[in-house]
């Protein structure tokens, strides 16, 4: 299963849960802002991903829930990109840079392609 297949499967799952229309979903879709997911939605998404891909899902890691806390715990002057890359090794260097930038701006972080990268990592494809 390649990354496009993973993302397509995720879009099916997200559409079934959020009823948003697969045609409106892409890797750049922001989970919290564009889809207005709530905690209960994330739990359902995590459970469906675990079932669909036969993987063990760590919701905290997959949904980047502790990202801000990890960066803050690293202390002032820490290399934010290095902290993100170490905590979330499935993210590409370009995505790590985007996240570091968006943390400074306070904008929503999690996108569907981040979840797809997590799934690929769990499947041993990253």
Q: What is the pLDDT of residues 54-113, one digit of tens each?
A: 999 999 999 999 898 898 898 877 899 999 999 999 999 999 999 999 887 777 689 999
Which domains does the chain possess? 3-122 (1.10.1200)
Q: What is the pLDDT of residues 34-58, one digit of tens each?
A: 998 898 999 999 999 999 999 999 9
CB atoms within 10 A of CB 17: 17
Closest CA to 58 of 88, 34, 94: 88
pTM (two decimals):
0.92
């Amino acid at each position: 299963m390649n990354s496009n297949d993973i993302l397509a499967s995720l879009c099916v799952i997200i559409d079934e849960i959020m009823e948003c229309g697969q045609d409106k979903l892409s890797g750049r879709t922001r989970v919290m802002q564009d889809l207005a997911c709530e905690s209960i939605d994330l739990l359902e998404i995590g459970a469906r991903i675990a079932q669909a891909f036969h993987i063990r899902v760590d919701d905290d890691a997959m949904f980047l829930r502790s990202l801000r806390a990890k960066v803050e715990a690293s202390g002032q002057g820490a290399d934010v990109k290095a902290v993100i890359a170490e905590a979330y090794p499935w993210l590409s260097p370009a995505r790590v840079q985007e996240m570091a930038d968006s943390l400074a701006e306070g904008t929503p972080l999690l996108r569907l392609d981040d979840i797809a990268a997590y799934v690929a990592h769990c499947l041993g494809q990253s």
